[in-house]
Amino acid sequence: MASAAPTATPQRVVMVTGGTGLVGSAIKAYVESLGPNPNERWIFLDAVDGDLRQMSVTRGLFERHHPTHVIHLAARVGGLFDNMRDKVGFWRDNIMINDTVLQCAHDFHVQKCVSCLSTCVFPDKTTYPIDETMLHNGPPHFSNEGYAYSKRMVEMLNRLYHEQFGDNFTAVIPTNIFGPNDNYYIEGGHVIPGLIHKCYLAKKNHTDFVIWGDGSPLRQFIYSMDMAKLFHWVLYNYSDPSPVILSVDETDEVSIGDVAREVARAMHFEGNIVFDTTKANGQFRKTASNAKLRRLLPDFHFTPLRDAIQASVDWFVANYDRARK
Ligand code: GDP
């Protein structure tokens, strides 16, 4: 539901599409932690506010809220296994959503629009670490082609709107995000929330904790609360259509097996951890460089993975009944 704290005439109205998901709720918590600002109003849109694939619906939301700034998070997203099942659906839904939101941001003279991509849209066959300049240098991994190509088009559109109309549109490219309010769906969800849910059930039912694949793939994870702070910084301090990777350092890359052991530790799970090698591993690695971010924000402190996993496990256990799963 759109939440709009009434203020007189705020100078800035920030509308967040997909505002109640993992990143949107983290941004909301971060903005609230900064305290009230009479010059700013934040609107966090939810899926029930309208289907952004339809231009008339998106236009109606812009007419209603008149945003000066847009954080565009709404997307069809899913883990490896969901992506493999419906590539056409991932492509179409995201292309339609991005087309309506960016065109309305243009039509309504939005001062800044920041969209959210993902490092999983980078080329599969590449050299590492990957950086922002390499986005289109080869096909993405076959497992998520629909999603990846649709998201790559946002980077292109940001440049084209800038070149043709001078619009101030850009994007961030985070690595795997996790945290409170994630989608803890097991079948089609992402790995950390999936593992947290599976470990919770394994502990409760005294069964094995089953990890899909052999646990060797490497990933960089970013905690949603860190992502929220960085997103806020990009919104007000970064003005260039070229995207910025939001990632922990390359030395903080971890294997899925180690992440599973951290989840088990945080959950106080003492049963067996087993690897189901009949399930896909997906991409082996997609190591991203955060050199650009470090140049812009050298002192940013990322929450240690152990602390962030503990906070997410604690949130899931405390909110089991209401968690999306
Ligand atoms: P990706 O980073 O885009 O590939 O997406 P995911 O967040 O789905 O991570 C997938 C990696 O975690 C693959 O190596 C999977 O084999 C592994 N994995 C292990 N257990 C799970 C699980 O329960 N759910 C998911 N989604 N992936 C798992």
Domain assignment present for 310: no
pLDDT tens per residue, range 202-215: 999 999 999 999 99
Active site (annotated) includes residue 147: yes
Is the Cα dihedral 208, 212, 214, 219 positive or negative? negative
Identify the active-site residue in 147, 149, 200, 223: 147
pLDDT tens per residue, range 289-321: 999 999 999 999 999 999 999 999 999 999 999
Q: CATH number, domain at 126?
A: 3.40.50.720
pLDDT score of 250:
95
Which ranges of the chain would DSSP assign to H, the alpha helix?
A: 22-33, 55-65, 80-85, 87-107, 145-165, 191-205, 224-237, 256-267, 291-296, 305-318
Domain assignment present for 21: yes
How far, in Å, are 104, 247, 302 from residue 26 at the CA level? 25, 16, 15
pLDDT score of 7:
47
Domain assignment present for 263: no
Q: Which residue has the higher pLDDT, 318 or 77?
A: 318
Q: Which residues contact 23 (CB under 8 A, 6 or more apart)?
A: 73, 116, 177, 224, 227, 228, 231
pLDDT tens per residue, range 215-264: 999 999 999 999 999 999 999 999 999 999 999 999 999 999 999 999 99
Domain assignment present for 99: yes
Domain assignment present for 117: yes
189, pLDDT greater than 90: no
The pick from 84, 212, 214, 283 for probing ligand 1's pocket by mutation, whose C-beta has the most ligand atoms within 8 angstroms, reads 212
Model confidence band, residue 8 (pLDDT cutoffs 50, 70, 90): low
Domain assignment present for 264: no
The rounded percent of the chain whose pLDDT value lies above 90 is 89
Terminal CA-to-CA distance of the chain, rounded, Å? Answer: 19
| Pocket of ligand 1, beta carbon within 6 A | 79-81, 120, 176, 189-191, 194-195, 198, 211-213, 217, 219, 256, 279-283
Domain assignment present for 201: no
Query: Mean pLDDT across the stretch 41-55?
Result: 97
Q: With contact defined as beta carbons under 8 Å apart, do 263 and 317 qualify?
A: no
Query: Mean pLDDT across the stretch 119-123?
Result: 91
The amino acid sitting at 50 is: G
Domain tally for the chain?
1
DSSP 233-266: HHHHH---SS-EEE---GGG-EEHHHHHHHHHHH
1, pLDDT greater than 70: no
pLDDT tens per residue, range 52-67: 999 999 999 999 999 9
β-pairing verdict for 254-255 and 218-219: antiparallel
CA torsion, ordered 22, 27, 32, 33, to nearest 10 deg: 100
pLDDT score of 10:
79
The pick from 191, 192, 195, 216 for probing ligand 1's pocket by mutation, whose C-beta has the most ligand atoms within 8 angstroms, reads 191
pLDDT score of 2:
53
CA of 90 to the centre of ligand 1 (A): 18
The rounded percent of the chain whose pLDDT value lies above 70 is 97
Give counts: helices (H), strands (E), the chain: 10, 12
pTM to 2 decimals?
0.92
Query: Mean pLDDT across the stretch 140-145?
Result: 93
Domain assignment present for 203: no
Q: State the average pLDDT for the chain.
A: 94
